[in-house]
Amino acid sequence: MGKVSTTPRTRVVAAGRPHEPNSPVNPPVEFTSTYHYRPSVEYPQVYAREGIPSFEPLEQLLAELEGGQHALLFSSGQAAISAVIQQLPVGSHLVMPRHAYMGFCTLAQQMADKGLIVLHRVDIAETEAVLSTVAEASAQAEAAGAQSLLWIESPTNPMLEVADVPRLVQGAQAAGTLTAVDNTFATPLRQNPLSHGADVVIHSVTKFLSGHSDVVMGAAITSDPELHTQLHGHRNLHGTIPGPMEVFLALRGVRTLAVRLDAAERSAGVLAQRLAELTEDGACSVRSVGYPGLADHPQHQRAAQLLGGFGAIITVDTGSREAADAVLERLQVWTPATSLGGVESLVERRRRHPGEPETVPEGLLRLSVGIEDTEDLYQDLAQALRAAGS
Ligand SMILES: Cc1ncc(COP(=O)(O)O)c(C=O)c1O
């Protein structure tokens, strides 16, 4: 009997399940820190910090979804980021987006401040400029006997710039530069950077993958066995494993990723369009709307070509901190909170975080569209934007 080929929509439901006769439909979860042993026998399991069998179904699922050989779960997305960039030898050059997840930017800056790495900030949407910076970084790293790494986020958090991932990865490879992609915003259902040759993909599993804002977790996926071994060693020594309960919740959450993402993305497309129309309404505090699916987004064509969908994150620039805060005070259906990718719609003024770069406008709201009724979401936003504009 030949193997039936499946799409990622099926794999999120089917991967990582036991298949033996009379096995449970869901993999069992072990709550244990240690394992029995007898000196006369070699056992694979020793101590839970090294990883437990309960991690494997979700790791297998994420590896399959991203098209990688190996996946490792971490205690958070930030722990996965940290594990990857701490693999760089001292003196390495890191080319990074000027807008990227704040925790990544802060950690990179701290490492640079300690003299561990050299930073090169780029606009990740400007492919030629990025590649010329990569060439410089690569040459400088080589002269120093170190490495260079291009870090890509696409779309970026929170500015939603869209990178030409295939060309960047190809160009970096030609320059001898490693590539890491934070694929949290796109999800593996919309973009698979490993298929373009990226060395490693990281996720904040906290977001769309878990999807219910009840878990903090990360993952790193690679097809490079050496890098996988290094990251595993790092996770063990830094102790950044998730707990079994989180693994259970994340695996349960990811089963509905395809339907959640479809619903949220459909809503986001409608909301972005209708919010953009409010820029004409003088009574509303909407200066501009950012969404890769809008025709006026600077990388709209690229997003249409490279991403399997435009995502569920929208930005609204209200023009000022005061206007943005006034909107947040008036929302009833949307929840003002940080984070994204859950079933509930969240909205946040990003500059409330001191770590957010100054090039992110003070009045910018980042909207994470959930799966509530689209019209309810729109009416709530419209009333809050009108009240804030009056
Ligand atoms: C794009 C992106 N990457 C990584 C992270 C960090 O993930 P975590 O919060 O799970 O540590 C976040 C968190 O907001 C994020 O938005």
By most ligand atoms within 8 Å of CB, the mutation choice from 190, 207, 212, 346 for ligand 1 is 207
Grouping H, G, I as helix, E, B as strand and the rest as coil, residue 254 is helix
Location of structure tokens 């007898």:
38
Task: Find out whether the peptide bond into 155 is cis, omega within 30 degrees of 0.
Answer: yes
Q: Of 79, 101, 73, which is closest to residue 249 (Cα–Cα)?
A: 73
Tell me, in angstroms, the distance from the centre of ligand 1 to residue 176's CA. 27
Does residue 164 carry a catalytic annotation? no
The pLDDT value given to residue 269? 98
Say which residues have a Cβ less than 8 Å from residue 240's Cβ, sequence separation at least 6. Answer: 74, 75, 76, 79, 82, 83, 234
DSSP conformational letter for 2: P
* Best CATH choice for the domain 257-389 from the list 2.60.260.20, 3.90.1530.10, 3.90.1150.10, 3.30.365.10: 3.90.1150.10
For the chain, the C-alpha Rg in angstroms (whole number) is: 22
Question: Is there a contact between 90 and 49 (Cβ–Cβ < 8 Å)?
Answer: no
Does residue 101 carry a catalytic annotation? yes
Expressed in percent and rounded to 5, the helix, strand and coil fractions of the chain are 40, 15, 45
User: Within 6 Å (CB) of ligand 1, which residues are found?
Assistant: 76-78, 101, 103, 153, 157, 182, 184-185, 204, 206, 216, 218
Domain with CATH 3.90.1150.10 in the chain: 257-389
Distance of CA 150 to the CA centre of its chain: 16
Does residue 49 carry a catalytic annotation? yes
The pLDDT value given to residue 83? 98
For residue 359 the two structure tokens come to: 């090039």
The pLDDT value given to residue 390? 78
Instruction: Please identify which of the residues 9, 17, 49, 330 carries the catalytic annotation.
Output: 49
Question: Is there a contact between 260 and 343 (Cβ–Cβ < 8 Å)?
Answer: yes
The pLDDT value given to residue 100? 97
By most ligand atoms within 8 Å of CB, the mutation choice from 62, 75, 78 for ligand 1 is 78
Tell me, in angstroms, the distance from the centre of ligand 1 to residue 252's CA. 20
The pLDDT value given to residue 283? 83
For residue 213 the two structure tokens come to: 């804002």
The pLDDT value given to residue 357? 94
For residue 263 the two structure tokens come to: 């619903």
The pLDDT value given to residue 307? 98
Does residue 386 carry a catalytic annotation? no
* pLDDT digit string (tens) for the chain, length 390 residues: 788 999 999 999 999 999 999 999 999 999 999 999 999 999 889 999 999 999 999 999 999 999 999 999 999 999 999 999 999 999 999 999 999 999 999 999 999 999 999 999 999 999 999 999 999 999 999 999 999 999 999 999 999 999 999 999 999 999 999 999 999 999 999 999 999 999 999 999 999 999 999 999 999 999 999 999 999 999 999 999 999 999 999 999 999 999 999 999 999 999 999 999 999 988 888 999 999 999 999 999 999 999 999 999 999 999 999 999 999 999 999 999 999 999 999 999 999 999 999 999 999 999 999 999 999 999 999 999 999 887
For residue 191 the two structure tokens come to: 């973009």
Architecture of domain 8-254: 3-Layer(aba) Sandwich (3.40)
